[in-house]
Amino acid sequence: MRKADAGAVLLLCATMMAWTASQAEAPRALSVDTAGQSLVTALTDVARRSGRELVMAEAAQASGAAPRLKGRYTPEQALQLLLAGSGLAYRRTADGAYIIYPAPPLAPSEPDNPVSLPELLVTARSQNSDIPRTQDDIQPYKVWTSRDLATAHVDTLDDFFRERLSSNAQPRAAIQDPVSQNGSSRSEIDMRGMGSSQTLVLVDGRRLPSLPSIDNAFLQSDISGVPLSAIDRIEVLTATSGGVYGAGAVAGAVNIVLKRDYRGADLAVTYGDTSRFDAATKRVDGRIGFTPDGGRTDVMVAFSDFRGADLRVGDRDYPAKARARRYANDRKAFLADSPGLSAADVAKIDLQFAPGLITPWANLVTRESSSSALLSVRHRFGPSVEAYLDGLALRSEGRSYTPAGRYIGVPVSALANGYSTLDQAVEQRSRTATTRTTAGLIIDLPAAWKLNADYTAGEAEVRGSANYHDQPGSFGSYVQSNSFRVISARLAGSVADLPGGPLTLSLLAEDRREHVPAATVKDYNLFFWDGMPYGVTQTLRSYYAEARAPLIPRDDGPRLLSGLELQLAVRHEAMRAVLPANRDDLLFANDDPVDDHQTAPVYTLGLRVFPMPDVMLRASLATGVVPPAIAQLARATMRYSASEGTGGVAWNYQFGVHSSDPKRRGALIGSEQPLLATFGGSPTAERARSVSVGLVATPRAAPGLRFSIDYTRIVKTREPVIISGGGAQYFLDHEALYPERVIRAPLTDADRARGYTAGVVTSLDTSAFSIGETISEAVDFQFDYRIATRKAGDLRFSSSVTWQPLLRRHVEPYNETLNAVGDDLEPLAWRGTASAEWSRGPWLLGLAADFYDHYRVARLGEAKFRADQWIRFQGSDRIASQIYFDLVGAYRVDRPPMALARSMEVRFGVRNVLDRDAPVVANEYGMGYSPFADPRGRRFDLTLLSRF
């Protein structure tokens, strides 16, 4: 931790405390009418209208009709009346969330007294192994509920994060890049633009198997197959938190909590299409839950199947518009791509800009599909022991047809001659399949402690294939898998009573192993899959403790320190990676087997305080770690002699074939005598630290209003940097800067006679340096306002906005660092979403807007001549800002108790309701449109949901 960071936190907190003053908190009355509502619906509505979260803990079962309430009540009054006689009680956590739990024999005299949340909420309602996090936690979280997901009307979870998570800087979805993504449809979340490997993705508080990849890396888990209908809530942390979540949680963490408790059945069918009826989508979601033995055992099975759109170039004119813009803005450069073009060809160029004329069959968007299955079985052995078995299976597939040459940069000769048949296509297919099964026990211990021990096993498999239709017999396919197992034990409970509530402690011991065996390559004759790794194993042992200490009550003590609570989470990460020797391909070569061991202590330290009843201040300091990628661990030392050849394409890539020695009058290295050449990665783990400070306001003058602002600064260091691409010539030309990297024999008299100033090179090391650094600064704004009325219904306004003024990368030791924000493929300076929603009885209607700031055409670090060319082709140095509006609605019909279906609901959505075209992007990459837009344009979808 830097003293400057700590000083900044203390100074900002002191400034905000000095600005606030003591005020009295007034109760907030809500308009409540429970006529015709079930108890669960009434409880949920009270929590929602009060701006609180509701969590059903333990074996709490809220069933039956709600007591009739009509009038104005405080949330606590309404909950007490609704729960009277139900056998349930509630308590309010320090975060403001309401916990519903089975009432003890003697109900507490003050059930609304806020307490900390001690339990690892592993219950019949949820298999979330993490402590539930709320938006008013010490660290800045964004939380979505199942209601938010139901009204989003997106196809996949990846779509949801790209549109609604304003801190997600992933520039384009995999399906928007069918060429370089090889037909993949996998998900990717990139918080703050620091890379997807820096964002940790969890399901129910547990990791999924990482995806294996052909470039020797463990990729972020694929969650594109998780259906939105199966999700109970999503918790997103937008800051480093290695102490809480462990390795990989550098830019943040995403925890997807699935629905587990359910009795009954429901079935939902969704159909969607564009206003042009050329990109249909279909989805089926189902769920059934029952108890075979009167409540001791609960079983739930859920499934989902999705079929995506197959949008082709012939259906939209974006590639044609991009070609036309390039031709109009710089005709000379456009024609220069095709030497020998005839005058007749040039004369008919204008005819080739018609939509779809060149490759109407090519995919503009990869065709995607996904399916999932979820199994949950729970059995209670008396009041203190519960066993569970949870299974999760996800599958996502993609298929694309693309031209054999460059996509947007098709040579003019090809424009003139035309690609007109599917015989010219490259057909690419990709499939990821992820499974995870967890079995465990939950044991209630004395003094309200809980023990949770479980075993998890799973696998992530990736399949890919490519078929060059224009080259019969050119076909290749591969299969890679990652087997995954985790053994863990969690213990949580209350340690002592403090003035503000109980001191709680959560402990974890975990052993995780991932193994990727050698890939299976079939019908190989494509260079694309050359250099497959032979097999790697990565293990991690983690020991974690998190304490929450409410030191001062909310309603007592010094005003400026009211409600003071501290959080401390520490982890010890022991990381190990093992990979065999591999001498077949230099890109992945290592001379000897690698067995790398590293340890890293990480922590999260935070506090919050309520200097005003309406204001909460929070601050946190945290560190994080990223294990070195497998490719970084592979280092090779090779004997090189110019007279014996270069050793293949990989050697050319690393060293070049004409590296000359400036101190020996340009003699080629290796021509006078062989040398030892070392190249490869740096085995150092990357480290990160972050500071976050924020303010949460809930003004009593406006009941239902919540506003928060959080500043986060993340600094990641020890990043591997291969200087100048690892080329030998750079080190020879800058030998004075790297004397330890260029080793020479002594200078002889014969050398001096020839005019040489140094001896012959005997050893050269161009491996990576651990000198890279990335700095991110961002401010997140959240706004929610719920207005409840007696007659006009309820209104909800919400907004989430991220301002990221800085993303600075230092990748060369002597070059100026640049701010990447606003460049192509980098985070936008401003990004946000806002929505307005009205509901009354069975009706719901909402309008949402997604905003994307403008960004520069040229990419960071691109050569000036190329950047200038892109700007000339575009006719501007930036792509304009974008805003898109969506309309949603729903109507629910409650059926009589004896009816087959308890209720039926109709939901509809209109995406891009104004049918705004995406900005045309005329550079050489991409598909001719801004990736922040959906090329399908206006879309409709309709869902019919029946609950039985």
Query: Which tokens is 505 given?
Result: 């402690």
**pTM here?**
0.85
Round to whole Å and give the CA distance between 604 and 860.
Answer: 33
Domain 3-33+115-634+681-727+766-947 = CATH 3.30.2130.30: no
The three-point CA angle 46-792-939 to 5° equals 90
Domain range list for the chain: 3-33+115-634+681-727+766-947, 635-680+728-761
Model pLDDT for residues 8-44, shown as the tens digit of each residue: 444 444 443 443 333 333 445 677 777 667 777 778 7
Model pLDDT for residues 382-432, shown as the tens digit of each residue: 888 999 999 999 999 999 988 765 444 455 555 555 555 676 778 899 999
Model pLDDT for residues 85-106, shown as the tens digit of each residue: 677 777 776 556 777 777 654 4
Model pLDDT for residues 651-678, shown as the tens digit of each residue: 444 454 468 899 999 888 888 888 888 8
Looking at residues 598-608, what average pLDDT do you find? 95
Instruction: Say if CB 714 and CB 250 are below 8 A apart.
Output: yes
Helix (H, G, I), strand (E, B) or coil at 126: coil
* pLDDT at residue 677, rounded to an integer: 84
Round to whole Å and give the CA distance between 779 and 612.
Answer: 23
CA–chain centroid gap for 523, Å, is: 34
> How would you label 347-378 residue by residue, b for 16+ Cβ within 10 Å and e otherwise?
eebeebbeebbbbbbbbbbbbbbbbbbbebeb
Least confident range of 255-264, 397-406, 529-538, 569-578 = 529-538
DSSP bridge partners of 439: 389, 455
Round to whole Å and give the CA distance between 469 and 404.
Answer: 9
Looking at residues 227-236, what average pLDDT do you find? 91
> Which is more confident, 323 or 642?
323
Model pLDDT for residues 163-195, shown as the tens digit of each residue: 999 999 998 899 998 888 888 999 999 999 999
Model pLDDT for residues 890-947, shown as the tens digit of each residue: 999 887 766 777 889 999 999 999 999 999 999 767 788 999 999 999 999 999 999 8
> Which is more confident, 492 or 4?
492
* pLDDT at residue 649, rounded to an integer: 39
Round to whole Å and give the CA distance between 692 and 656.
Answer: 46
The three-point CA angle 711-715-721 to 5° equals 150
Q: Dump the DSSP string for 93-114.
A: BTTS-EEEEEPPSS--S-TT--
The three-point CA angle 892-158-98 to 5° equals 55
Residue % of the chain over a pLDDT of 70: 81
* pLDDT at residue 214, rounded to an integer: 73
DSSP state letter for 257:
E
Model pLDDT for residues 495-519, shown as the tens digit of each residue: 998 988 889 999 999 999 999 988 7
Round to whole Å and give the CA distance between 499 and 566.
Answer: 13
Looking at residues 261-268, what average pLDDT do you find? 87
Query: Which tokens is 370 given?
Result: 């996904």
Looking at residues 529-552, what average pLDDT do you find? 82
- Residue whose entry in the numeric block shows the structure tokens 């791509």: 337
Helix (H, G, I), strand (E, B) or coil at 77: helix
Q: Is a pLDDT exceeding 60 seen at residue 588?
A: no
DSSP bridge partners of 339: none
Per residue, the 3-state secondary structure of 753-818, as one string, reads HCCCCCCCEEEEECCCEEEEEEEEEEEEEEEEEEEECCCCCEEEEEEEEEEEEEEEEECCCCCCCE
* pLDDT at residue 352, rounded to an integer: 62
Model pLDDT for residues 756-777, shown as the tens digit of each residue: 999 999 999 988 888 889 999 9
Instruction: Say if CB 79 and CB 30 are below 8 A apart.
Output: no
Q: Is a pLDDT exceeding 90 seen at residue 47?
A: no
Q: Is a pLDDT exceeding 90 seen at residue 615?
A: yes
Round to whole Å and give the CA distance between 641 and 467.
Answer: 38
Helix (H, G, I), strand (E, B) or coil at 851: strand
Query: Residue 448 — φ and ψ, nearest 5°?
Result: 65, 25
* pLDDT at residue 638, rounded to an integer: 77
Q: Dump the DSSP string for 492-524.
A: EEEEEEETTEEEEEEEEEEEEEEEEE--EEES-
* pLDDT at residue 179, rounded to an integer: 81
* pLDDT at residue 119, rounded to an integer: 40
How far separated are the first and last CA of the chain, in Å rounded?
55
Query: Which tokens is 715 given?
Result: 């600094």
